[in-house]
Structure 1
Amino acid sequence: MRRTPVPVAALTETVSDEWRKSSHSGPNGCIEYTELSARQRAIRDTKKRELGMIVFDSTSWRAFISGINTGVLRP
């Protein structure tokens, strides 16, 4: 049986200057996102930036966005 690789996300303190507010953010919660490289994206909590960010590889990012868009992941 062939195994399917699991998407990987990691918590990190990498710095980026080009953060954008997610259109899914509301008055009680704001998530920002940035493109770290052609193959990495990151999100962070605007109110708790000191906690760092979660970095996604390309596959994980697509799965994350798909989960939001289909309602699998919701606040």
Structure 2
Amino acid sequence: MTEQPTPRATESMLEGALWHKSTYSGTNNGCVEHAVLTSGRHAIRDTKDRTLGAHTFGREQWRTFVTAVRDGSL
């Protein structure tokens, strides 16, 4: 079974999330926050405009995303 992405997280999905600012965020307002949700999914959101909501990813999708950021292919 392949994990399906959830484009936008619902409010209930984000309840109790502990957000932290990405170490890749710079001082030019390009900040992203990350949280691991109680479901095990990973969520990201824009720090400067949290009203835009959050996007969630399954574990494998998250691992692929982080690898792409680290190796510069994204």
Common topology (TM > 0.5): yes
Q: Any stretches of 5+ residues in structure 2 without a counterpart?
A: none
TM-score, normalization by structure 1: 0.78
- 1:38 and 1:12 map into 2 onto residues whose CA distance is 12
1:63 aligns with 2:64: yes
- 1:7 and 1:67 map into 2 onto residues whose CA distance is 19
Question: Taking every aligned residue pair, what percent have the same amino acid on both sides?
Answer: 36
- 2:70 and 2:6 map into 1 onto residues whose CA distance is 18
Residue-pair matches, total: 69
Query: Based on CA coordinates, which of the two structures has the bigger radius of gyration?
Result: 1
- 2:5 and 2:67 map into 1 onto residues whose CA distance is 15
TM-score, normalization by structure 2: 0.79
RMSD of aligned residue pairs (Cα, Å): 2.0
Q: Any stretches of 5+ residues in structure 1 without a counterpart?
A: none
Letter aligned with residue 50 of structure 1: T
